Structure 1
Amino acid sequence: MRGRGRRTRWRRGDGRPTGAAARAGAVAAALCAAAALPGGFTATAGTRDAYAFDPAGRSVTGATGTAGAPRLEPGRAYRDSLPVRGSLTYRFDLTAAESAYAPVTAVPPAGTTGNATDGIRVSLEDARGTRCSTASALFGAGLSARPVTALGQRQTGRSLCQGAGAYYLRVERLSAGGSASGTASPAPRWDLEIAPVTEPGLAAAGPTTAPPAQDSASPGPLAGSPQERTGGAGFTTARPLGQGVWWTGITPGSTLFYKVPVDWGRRMHAVAELDAATSGHGYVGGALNLSLYSPVRGYVDGASLGYTGTRRTAALDPLPPVEYANRYAVLTGENAVRFAGDYYLVLHLSEKTADTFGTGPFHVTLRVRVDGQAHDGPRYAGRPEPGDVFTVTERDRRAAASGETGGGGVAMKALAAGGIGTGTALLLVLGGWIVAARRAQTRLSAQKPTA
């Protein structure tokens, strides 16, 4: 989700930089990420790097209840950290005409031990305490800690949670025994990314039933020689991907993010193939996990595979074309493909794979098909937040074919405008950062009282 670029300030005392240091760090990180892009840069196989949070994300502290819950604005990204016990609550102020989506991504720290039922639960309720939605995201059969995303949502036109006013998002940890609030031993906090979206109502009355059922047969796999396409480390840095056959290297414990632009009237299908191992023998359950998320980061479908060291395939279920009226479908996957935009493919290779088949990297092939006849979308009565979330442009299509990031953000625009190399730009940024830090230290020294 694209942020608006406002200045980021982190909470004091949590080890994160503030002010200019944070901005310099974000730019430096973006420049480092740029080194992995195609078009003259060198790409490396997927490793277990830290999750790439939105650099424009704002720090926020969730409340333990509705009293004092901080207000979140749609179209922005927010960061917080989730304790092992209890829950965090946030507030949204919504009009009667707009639907709201609040995806929450929880990122366990490196070294976290994963159980199948560990994860998060996200719920949204109105000011009277009526539950609008509940969703959970778990590590699953791979027994491997990874970023997990669950969506809280409020949809207009339903019998519950209608009208303008305050709505509350609640996030809590889950453990093997249920809610983590009942555990006895302490555990590290999990970082959170929250990226709320609003969708306006229609300018004129639209359909109120799901479209007729489509052909449910799985499309045939795409053939052809795969092209290398390394994934990103988060939703914000997801690598563009279009129809075709792609491959990447991935190491145990790592998670890769891709985004596929899908317009109104079109549908996508994806298959992931984990190649044969070069060493070891045995079995790893849920070794490779393939998940699909909507433009609002809502879960659409997923598949995982057990691995014995021989080539295995995981395929998503067939999905209908993207249509506004899909929101009235009963099945979760069909209901989720309700708007055009970037659909996210997320790959995770279980840490357990390393114990049996080595540290890799392992070769994964992605076969992505996008078909159907594109058409104009619904006419909204207002503007969604962020404004481009339900839009597919020609630039998006070109980026999906080439793997370029499309806009590239502040750092890439600076590179393009200045005509300088990544290494030179990175040295300039780091040099400026060092100078700023030295000046700050000089000011502090000058302020110290003399003996």
Structure 2
Amino acid sequence: MAPVHGRPSGGSRLRGVARAGVVGVLLCALSASAVRAAVAADGTVPYDYVPGAGTVAGTEGTAGASLLEAGSAYRSSLPRDGARYYRLELDAAETAYVSVTAVPRAGGTVAATDGVRVSLRDANGGTCSLATEQFGASHSPHPVAASASREVAPGSGVCQGAGTYYVVVERADAKNSQAGDWGLELTAVSEPGLKAAGATKAPEAWDSATPEPPAGTAVRRAGGAGFGSAVTVGRGTWTADIRPGRTLFYRVPLDWGQQLDATAELGAGPGSGYVTGALTTSLYNPVRDDVQDVALSYGGRAASAALDSSPPVAYANRFSFSDQVRAMRVAGAYYLVVHLAGQTADRFGDGPFTLTLRLGIRGEVRAGPGYAGRSVPSGVFEVSDAERDAATAHGAAGTGADPGMRAVAAGGIGGGTVLLAGLGVWTVLSRRRAAAAGRG
């Protein structure tokens, strides 16, 4: 780097810049810490909400329901008893998706049947779709997501016209649910119609044989703490630390025609006993609709569990009678969400434990279905070159760095990272100032 030349007053300017920069950095770091403290203070499990998400209040009925706009993310809350209503304004051509991620309160256990239920209804109360996501065998509070939709389909007699629709959110098992409010993250996505009619029948057969897990050295890639900060991974072997009660989020880009094979392994740990449903691995599609889940029980020895081999991504999958096949209906970023049950600590300590993900992606990339317009948000049903690059492990071997940091921008830069960067800038400026003073 070339030395800085100039009069002594230049050093004063540099000191002013350095002070201003560091003050700003410290304020950013303090703000980030305040956000983390606020999340902990509200009693919910740790979760990174989408940066910039607006805040809306759900209503107890349709009157005065807050509007959710496609392409936007929102924060809200859900009480133990009673449903909460939100509003959509839809045209007659778009397929609309609304996902709701429930963030339960931390500590203790939850009922296996509890979780979040989301329905989308027309102005007359007719149900367009209904989805429920439960905590399952883990009995451990963690973020769960469910997605409802209004799909324009020839021959369907409900939910086909333009107008007002309502999103209804409630606990899956209010009788056995936690006391206190849960946090909610809501997102809305619009999928355009097709230029020309395509197949109206889902593929009936595909290669469902589970291939050998990918070999090779595992690449370290820490997961995110929410859908918005999920870290991108692809074909290969990935490893991270995970602690009891925590949930890690990963993005897996899947294009049209591709299918995913995924295995999650939990490394051996000290202690004795047995924890049912210790590690839960869930696969969600780009609109956060649940594809499938697998739970792994743990007795202290290394153990693994694999998701079923998914069908290739295809537009016509939406016409299947199988929920798992129907969810593989769009290309884009799929999400692997891995949760280690809090009660694992009771038997095996606080960890951290070693999580290993072995991912296989196969199938020839095919052309898309030929949309008549663009999705909202734009590109949600596509795989970009940047995502393909972020999903690879190139450049990671031997560097000791976590290449997943390339995906941090999706969820904002953490205060600690910003602070280190700011201190680095301050150091460089100080050295420049000292060199200039010496020459003066």
The answer to whether TM tops 0.5 is yes
* Amino acid of the structure 2 residue aligned with 1:58: G
Q: Secondary structure at the match of 2:201?
A: coil
Which of residues 324, 335, 343 is equivalent to 2:315?
A: 324
1:17-416 alignment runs, 5 A limit: 29=32, 50-111=46-107, 113-157=109-153, 158-175=156-173, 177=175, 187-277=179-269, 279-401=270-392, 402-406=403-407, 408=409
In structure 2, what is the Cα distance between the partners aligned to 1:79 and 1:195?
A: 9
Question: 1:112, CA displacement in angstroms?
Answer: 5.1
In structure 1, what is the Cα distance between the partners aligned to 2:343 and 2:354?
A: 16
Residues 426 and 263 from structure 1, CA distance in 2 versus in 1: closer, same or farther, beyond 3 angstroms? Answer: farther
In structure 1, what is the Cα distance between the partners aligned to 2:424 and 2:69?
A: 33
Residues 259 and 410 from structure 1, CA distance in 2 versus in 1: closer, same or farther, beyond 3 angstroms? Answer: closer
Residues 138 and 25 from structure 1, CA distance in 2 versus in 1: closer, same or farther, beyond 3 angstroms? Answer: farther
Quick check: 1:28–1:426 contact (8 Å CA) kept in 2?
no
Q: Secondary structure at the match of 2:138?
A: coil
Residues 425 and 55 from structure 1, CA distance in 2 versus in 1: closer, same or farther, beyond 3 angstroms? Answer: farther
In structure 2, what is the Cα distance between the partners aligned to 1:370 and 1:285?
A: 29
Q: Secondary structure at the match of 1:310?
A: coil
CA deviation vs aligned residue, 1:269-315 (integer Å, no higher than 9, x gap)? 100011111x2111100000000000001100110111111111111
Q: Secondary structure at the match of 2:172?
A: strand
In structure 1, what is the Cα distance between the partners aligned to 2:134 and 2:411?
A: 34
The structure with the largest helix share of the pair is 2
Quick check: 1:144–1:351 contact (8 Å CA) kept in 2?
yes
In structure 2, what is the Cα distance between the partners aligned to 1:147 and 1:241?
A: 20
* Amino acid of the structure 1 residue aligned with 2:275: V
In structure 2, what is the Cα distance between the partners aligned to 1:265 and 1:343?
A: 14
Question: 1:83, CA displacement in angstroms?
Answer: 0.8
Q: Secondary structure at the match of 2:80?
A: coil
Q: Secondary structure at the match of 2:378?
A: coil
Question: 1:28, CA displacement in angstroms?
Answer: 5.0
In structure 2, what is the Cα distance between the partners aligned to 1:311 and 1:366?
A: 13
In structure 2, what is the Cα distance between the partners aligned to 1:144 and 1:77?
A: 26
Q: Secondary structure at the match of 2:316?
A: helix
Identical-residue share of aligned pairs (%): 49
CA deviation vs aligned residue, 1:347-395 (integer Å, no higher than 9, x gap)? 0000110001111111111001111111221221122111121111111
Unaligned 5+ segments in structure 1 are 1-20, 34-47, 181-185, 428-451
In structure 2, what is the Cα distance between the partners aligned to 1:49 and 1:266?
A: 34
Q: Secondary structure at the match of 2:146?
A: strand
* Amino acid of the structure 2 residue aligned with 1:405: R
In structure 2, what is the Cα distance between the partners aligned to 1:93 and 1:408?
A: 31
Unaligned 5+ segments in structure 2 are 1-23, 37-43, 393-402, 427-440
In structure 1, what is the Cα distance between the partners aligned to 2:87 and 2:170?
A: 15
Quick check: 1:227–1:246 contact (8 Å CA) kept in 2?
yes
Residues 329 and 134 from structure 1, CA distance in 2 versus in 1: closer, same or farther, beyond 3 angstroms? Answer: same
In structure 2, what is the Cα distance between the partners aligned to 1:410 and 1:339?
A: 23
What residue number does 2:429 align with?
Answer: none
Residues 381 and 85 from structure 1, CA distance in 2 versus in 1: closer, same or farther, beyond 3 angstroms? Answer: same
Quick check: 1:123–1:152 contact (8 Å CA) kept in 2?
yes
In structure 1, what is the Cα distance between the partners aligned to 2:411 and 2:247?
A: 25
Residues 410 and 171 from structure 1, CA distance in 2 versus in 1: closer, same or farther, beyond 3 angstroms? Answer: closer
CA deviation vs aligned residue, 1:149-196 (integer Å, no higher than 9, x gap)? 111111110443211111110001233746x5xxxxx82210100011
Residues 272 and 90 from structure 1, CA distance in 2 versus in 1: closer, same or farther, beyond 3 angstroms? Answer: same
Question: 1:421, CA displacement in angstroms?
Answer: 5.4
Residues 85 and 275 from structure 1, CA distance in 2 versus in 1: closer, same or farther, beyond 3 angstroms? Answer: same
Quick check: 1:119–1:173 contact (8 Å CA) kept in 2?
yes
Q: Secondary structure at the match of 2:406?
A: coil
In structure 2, what is the Cα distance between the partners aligned to 1:107 and 1:404?
A: 24
Residues 167 and 26 from structure 1, CA distance in 2 versus in 1: closer, same or farther, beyond 3 angstroms? Answer: farther
Between the two proteins, the alignment pairs up a number of residues equal to 381
* Amino acid of the structure 1 residue aligned with 2:79: P
CA deviation vs aligned residue, 1:192-232 (integer Å, no higher than 9, x gap)? 00011110100111111112311222222111221111000
What residue number does 2:7 align with?
Answer: none
* Amino acid of the structure 2 residue aligned with 1:236: G
* Amino acid of the structure 1 residue aligned with 2:149: Q
Question: 1:425, CA displacement in angstroms?
Answer: 8.7
Quick check: 1:240–1:404 contact (8 Å CA) kept in 2?
no
In structure 1, what is the Cα distance between the partners aligned to 2:235 and 2:412?
A: 28
Quick check: 2:77–2:183 contact (8 Å CA) kept in 1?
yes
Question: 1:236, CA displacement in angstroms?
Answer: 0.3
Question: 1:424, CA displacement in angstroms?
Answer: 3.5
